[in-house]
Amino acid sequence: MSRFLLALVCWLWLGLFSLKAQNAISATALRCENLTNPTALETTKPRLSWQLSGADRGLLQQSYHILVASSAEKLARNEGDLWNSGVVSTDQSIWIPYGGQTLTSRASYFWKVQIVTTNGLTSDWSQPATWTMGLMQASDRTAQWIGLEQTFPWDQPTANRTRLSARYFRKETQLTKPIRQATAYICGLGLYELHLNGQRIGTQVLAPGPTEYNKRVFYNTFDVTAQLHQGTNALGITLGNGHFFRMRLNQWALPETTHYGLPRCWMQLEVTYTDGTKQTIITDTSWKVTADGPIRANNEYDGEDYDATRELTNWHQPGFNDSSWLAAESVSAPASRLESQINPPIRIMETLRPRAIRSLPNGTYVVDMGQNITGWLRIRVAGARGTRLTMRFGELVNGDGSVYQENLRSALQTDTYVLKGEGTEVWEPRFTYHGFRYVEITGLTTPPTVAQFDGCVIYDEMAHSGTFSSSNPVLNQIVTNADWGIKGNYRGMPTDCSQRDERLGWLGDRTTGAQGESFLFDNQSLYAKWLQDIEDAQTDEGSIPDVAPSYWKLYTDNATWPAAYATIAAMLYDQYGDDRPIRAHYASMKRWIQYIDRYQQDYNYWKDEYGDWAVPPESPEIIITQDPTRKTPFDVLGSTHYYRILTLLERFATITGNDADRVWFAERARLVRDAFNRNHWDTSKQQYANNTTTANLLPLAFGMVPDDRRDRVTANLLSRLTGEYNTHVSSGVVGVQWLMRTLTTVGRPDLAYQIATNTTYPSLGYMTQQGATTIWELWNGNTASAFMNSGNHVMLLGDLLIWLYENVAGIKATEPGFRRLSMSPTPVGNLNQVSASHVSPYGPIASGWIKNERGFRWTVTIPGNCRAEVAIPATSPELVWEGSRRALESPDLVFLRQESDRVVFAVGSGTYVFTNIPPANLTMQLVTEKRVVRSGDPLFMYMTVRNEGPETATNVSVGNRLSPELSVLTASGLTLTDGQLVGKIAQLDPGNQVTYSLLLRPTVPGTFVQTAQVTAADQFDPTSIPNSGTGDGEDDMAAVDFRTAQTDGTVYQSANPHQTPLPPVQSNQPLPDSTKADLSLSLATAQSVLTATMPTTLSLIVTHQGGLSVGNVSIRLTVPADITAGSQTGGTLVIPVDGIMQPGQSKIVAVPIRSNARQPFTVQAELISASVTDPDSTPDNGLTNGEDDTAQLRLRVH
């Protein structure tokens, strides 16, 4: 009977059976066009998606029911007056096209979904989501394009480095009635800022997004109801230049920069009054304009010149005297298409404080941000009127400490600011950005401090969708550098660099890189937009440019760079399940492939322009290798990529239902492959062409090698790579796109790992050893000529990120959007730990493995509505354990097959812990004989370690780091080692436990929070990792708190020096605002695993990061029906937070909590009141909105 009860308790504890969990399914993360509550859509069939969440394993959707309503009130009443899909039997949960009434311009739509799973569970209706429509018809757009078709004496529009001042447009208008709703639609080219009544609208920067300006331009949409009022209102628009007005004229050695004209704008402000009448204010010739303002010049390459003595004080507020301003001119529309910008804008996503400031002998100062970033410097300075500050930006410093700018070529990357002399002045540029780590500042009259500067990091607003860490610090630093480099080159298009006179969307840099980036960033919207840029830049003949948008006119008709057009469309389908880009651009791609057919001769594609760019050269000072043994022949590159493109278009033809095209593409691909093997296989030498690494990689990767030659080609690849190149990179940007995966495919992941972690030249690790914080453009970036030597490129990442995720971590989609996965990790080299996560369209996927000399432990998470094949390193299925039982005995697993040294199971959604040795589930508990002790009195603490697993645990160690303020009177069985009481257990059988008694005496008054953990064991544990710290909530640690009867409020906590870093929490937390109060809420307990009917303490922790003191703070705590909190069982409690909270202060409210049943439960809490506004959350607005004033905690009970 006791064994049965023990087994039942374990079963309940591990969450394999829970009546509550069986009903806990929901549709979450609702998205429209992969965006959260998007505005101003123009598609007539927006697509809806959601994620299936729940505690049960194996969750699969059986049906959905969507309601779309014209108001939030109707949706709340379950009235889908615009679309009621009814119950639709399908497992599809992403990209479901709207199927209701015709959508209309400007309208708002409210929707929700209910789902049913295959095991018969029905969710509640989801939380509501919304989308709004933009100006869908040409007749909706009544505004005029306005500008000023002249320049001024201070401008230099025909200089080599052009200079053009910002243009300021304003208009005052009367709004005659109370306002119900106001919406602004605006396009300002090249870049704009909008102000209404003195308030800047939106937090976007460098808007709108860049496009092929003569084909398509974007407008942005804003709800401006709060910024307008009845009476006189002032509208102000500032225009910068961006890529619209050319930045260079007749620049030596570089292509001509495309020029679209002088800046211009279009705006439509639509106001609806409370009585239902409407008024529209548009840009027209009634507006006034001046260029004689503080922004004297702005140029993305060269910087911004700002003269604060020329500020137009209150120019964007009513009553400003604009009598000296000019009348705006009506100008031509730049493009035939004016569309809503759907991809999220660029914003200031992060801010950094300088790491150091150094003074130079000439009186200048060099600010070191500690990280190469993309953005600008925000300054806080004071000085005499007319004082000029000059800020030079660069990625490196010279030997004398000054900023190095030689690698910027003609780009000046210099901002100037002239002080107005009115106290502390805060300034940052508006229409430029820089790639930099260092800033050299001239003109400061007093030594600066780091508090005077913020590094504003800009990139497209998008979520971090993945994390990767490992036991190899070099690999971790490379991934960190990659992260900074990728986001630093997301600015409405994926650019090559962010510092020199280029900053363009080179296609070849992203041919494969886009897929690797998608594991770290949710880049779907950006790349879908970029494909439209590529089509817009296509010539009438069909040629695709090397750069898009085509700000340099480069149409070289090679096959390697433009291949990105097809590979990125495939990436969006494979990684996100989005087939619309393929369908939208299919005709354009077909026209392109037919166009480039002219460059093949007998199916040998001979045209190329750049070769395998950036091959490590024979001399450290040169950029492009001249060694013919290193240079892959152009027609090898061209023919392999021609074949690759044809196979992709064959696939696209299948997806789009173009069967005749599919047959043509397939046959053409066969002819190209056969010709390649005739033309490039050297029979006498038994090698492809000149046997470069890339000449071997590409045919292997693309499936062009005949079966009878595959071993020979593989041997050629490995021989030269491990011999002449000493297992170092020997390819350029084309070859490295396939290097890591191909080596793994041919059975040599060890070589891939060595290449990835090398720290000698040439390697990514070498860059990190030289102090790089991003990825260089060249392998020899520290020695090569400055002309082509960016410190922030991402092209040399190649397929590293894909390899880390798909091969090393084992997260690989086998159906679009990760609907099906193949998970097969590759423990390689000296790696003993890897942790990776990725948020797919269906939800989070995770893979974390640990290996040691005894075995392998692997934790995987599969999202709802997905399935996976998992391959565990083991020689037999009988050797695989999942959790605390054999995998073959688990009802949640299906054994599929044995693959050499891997055992393959099919699994559904959920989290699984696999080991290839029997596990021992060690748990820890701490209790004290009493919670309050009189000063000077002793008390007993009991530390119990228990084996809940099926296997005997051996060589178990436990540790307890007591606070120094506790005197140890006795500690039976424990020894003091390095400040920790350590217990050793040679053997702990299943179901057994060991309890240590400690007699302690507090030496000072206060509250004591003490922790202990399991620090070692021979066996793997399915629910925890030994010695990973006492802050991770695993069940091999425990905490207990007690206090003295007389206490001064001081809290003494156990030290936690070896905490394994928890997964990073990505945040766009705003900077502290002196006008607001920023409150956040978190929950914690003394124990992560509770004992039924035994009380513990729940801590509600309120943290204040704002700038104002705040009072009247209260919390609503919600607990399940069988949980007692305080004196109440189940329901909600309102708990006040006593006193006034000061900036930077945290307060803890302790609530006793007890579970009356042995099953997991969740407690939830929310801040429901505060006396001051919070910038990033609203009190009492629900528990599921992701705001930081909510918290929840999942607890287990035994």
DSSP state of 1110: B
User: Token pair for residue 297?
Assistant: 């010049």
Between CA 172 and CA 168 the distance in angstroms is 14
**Residues with Cβ < 8 Å from 610, sequence gap 6 or more?**
508, 556, 558, 560, 561
User: Token pair for residue 218?
Assistant: 């974007």
Give mean pLDDT, residues 1147-1168. Answer: 84
Q: Residue 659: which H helix or E strand, with range?
A: helix 659-680
User: Token pair for residue 127?
Assistant: 């939380």
pLDDT confidence bin for 557, thresholds 50/70/90: very high
pLDDT confidence bin for 1063, thresholds 50/70/90: low
With contact defined as beta carbons under 8 Å apart, do 926 and 941 qualify? yes
Between CA 576 and CA 553 the distance in angstroms is 31
Nearest to 435 by CA among 252, 303, 239, 258: 303
**Residues with Cβ < 8 Å from 1073, sequence gap 6 or more?**
1106, 1107, 1175
Q: What is the model's pLDDT at position 1176?
A: 66
Q: What is the model's pLDDT at position 911?
A: 96
Between CA 727 and CA 729 the distance in angstroms is 7
* Beta strand ranges found along 992-1034 (DSSP E): 993-1002, 1007-1016
Between CA 958 and CA 977 the distance in angstroms is 12
Between CA 827 and CA 786 the distance in angstroms is 40
> What is the pTM (predicted TM-score) of this model?
0.85
- Tell me: pLDDT of 279 over 50: yes
pLDDT confidence bin for 1078, thresholds 50/70/90: confident
Phi, psi angle pair for 930, to nearest 5°? -155, 160
- Tell me: pLDDT of 1065 over 80: no
Give mean pLDDT, residues 493-520. Answer: 97
- End-to-end Cα separation, the chain, in angstroms: 17
* Amino acid at residue number 606: W
Phi, psi angle pair for 1073, to nearest 5°? -110, 125
Q: Which of 517-526, 812-821, 824-833, 971-980 has the lowest mean pLDDT?
A: 971-980
Instruction: Give the percent of the chain with pLDDT over 70.
Output: 96
Rg of the chain in Å (alpha carbons): 32
- Tell me: pLDDT of 1075 over 70: no
- Tell me: pLDDT of 186 over 90: yes
Between CA 706 and CA 709 the distance in angstroms is 5
- Give the 3-state secondary structure of residue 720: helix
pLDDT confidence bin for 1062, thresholds 50/70/90: low
Q: Tell me the pLDDT tens digit for each residue of 886-941.
A: 999 999 999 999 999 999 999 999 999 999 988 889 999 999 998 899 878 999 99
DSSP state of 207: B
- Cross-strand partners of 366: 358, 440
Rounded (10°) CA dihedral 867, 873, 878, 879: -130
Q: What is the model's pLDDT at position 918?
A: 85
Q: Residue 648: which H helix or E strand, with range?
A: helix 634-656
> Which pairing describes strands 396-397 and 403-404: parallel, antiparallel, or unpaired?
antiparallel
Q: What is the model's pLDDT at position 1175?
A: 67
Report the phi/psi class of residue 744: left, alpha or beta, with left for phi > 0 and alpha for psi in -120 to 50: alpha
Residue owning tokens 């320049």: 151
- Give the 3-state secondary structure of residue 922: strand
DSSP track, 1027-1044: TS-SSS--TTEEEEEEEE
Between CA 14 and CA 334 the distance in angstroms is 63
Q: How is the chain split among helix, strand and coil, in percent rounded to 5?
A: 20, 35, 45
Nearest to 1079 by CA among 1182, 1191, 1192, 1188: 1188
Q: Residue 411: which H helix or E strand, with range?
A: none
Nearest to 819 by CA among 801, 839, 841: 841
Q: Where do the domains of the chain lie, and which CATH numbers do they carry?
A: 23-132 (2.60.40.10), 143-340 (2.60.120.260), 346-460 (2.60.120.260), 466-805 (1.50.10.10), 810-915 (2.60.420.10), 922-1053 (2.60.40.10), 1079-1197 (2.60.40.10)
User: Token pair for residue 538?
Assistant: 């296509």
Half-sphere exposure (Cβ direction) of 307: Cα atoms closer than 13 Å: 12
Q: Residue 112: which H helix or E strand, with range?
A: strand 108-117
Looking at the chain, the number of H-run helices and the number of E-run strands are 15, 68
User: Token pair for residue 514?
Assistant: 């886009």
- Give the 3-state secondary structure of residue 729: coil
Give mean pLDDT, residues 1058-1086. Answer: 63
With contact defined as beta carbons under 8 Å apart, do 914 and 879 qualify? no
Q: What is the 3-state secondary structure (H, E, C) of 850-864?
A: EECCCCEEEEEEECC
Phi, psi angle pair for 365, to nearest 5°? -125, 145
User: Token pair for residue 486?
Assistant: 């990728």
Between CA 735 and CA 762 the distance in angstroms is 14
User: Token pair for residue 571?
Assistant: 């990436």
**Residues with Cβ < 8 Å from 942, sequence gap 6 or more?**
925, 926, 927, 928, 929, 995, 996, 997, 998
DSSP state of 804: I
Q: What is the model's pLDDT at position 1140?
A: 81
Q: What is the model's pLDDT at position 1086?
A: 58
Q: What is the model's pLDDT at position 314?
A: 97
DSSP state of 807: I
User: Token pair for residue 755?
Assistant: 């290449």
Between CA 76 and CA 262 the distance in angstroms is 50
Between CA 584 and CA 500 the distance in angstroms is 34
Q: Tell me the pLDDT tens digit for each residue of 69-93.
A: 999 999 999 999 999 999 999 999 9
Residue owning tokens 């005997």: 952
With contact defined as beta carbons under 8 Å apart, do 506 and 223 qualify? no
Report the phi/psi class of residue 803: left, alpha or beta, with left for phi > 0 and alpha for psi in -120 to 50: alpha
Report the phi/psi class of residue 57: left, alpha or beta, with left for phi > 0 and alpha for psi in -120 to 50: beta
Q: What is the model's pLDDT at position 1162?
A: 84
Helices (H), 376-472: none
Q: What is the model's pLDDT at position 1124?
A: 87
Q: Is the dihedral of CA 1019, 1021, 1027, 1028 positive or negative?
A: positive
Q: What is the model's pLDDT at position 1015?
A: 92
Phi, psi angle pair for 702, to nearest 5°? -90, 0
Q: What is the model's pLDDT at position 810?
A: 98
User: Token pair for residue 87?
Assistant: 């119950």
Q: Tell me the pLDDT tens digit for each residue of 245-262.
A: 999 998 888 898 999 999
Rounded (10°) CA dihedral 717, 722, 723, 729: 80
Nearest to 860 by CA among 1014, 1029, 1022: 1022
- Tell me: pLDDT of 23 over 60: no
Instruction: Give the percent of the chain with pLDDT over 90.
Output: 81
Between CA 733 and CA 91 the distance in angstroms is 40
How much is the mean pLDDT over the chain?
Answer: 93
Task: Report in angstroms the alpha-carbon separations of 907 from 560, 843, 862, 883, 916.
Answer: 39, 16, 8, 14, 17
Q: Residue 882: which H helix or E strand, with range?
A: strand 881-882
Q: Tell me the pLDDT tens digit for each residue of 320-376.
A: 999 999 999 999 999 999 999 999 999 999 999 999 999 999 999 999 999 999 999
Q: Is 243 exposed, middle or buried (0-12, 13-18, 19+ CB in 10 A)?
A: buried
> What does the chain come to in residues?
1198
- Give the 3-state secondary structure of residue 45: coil
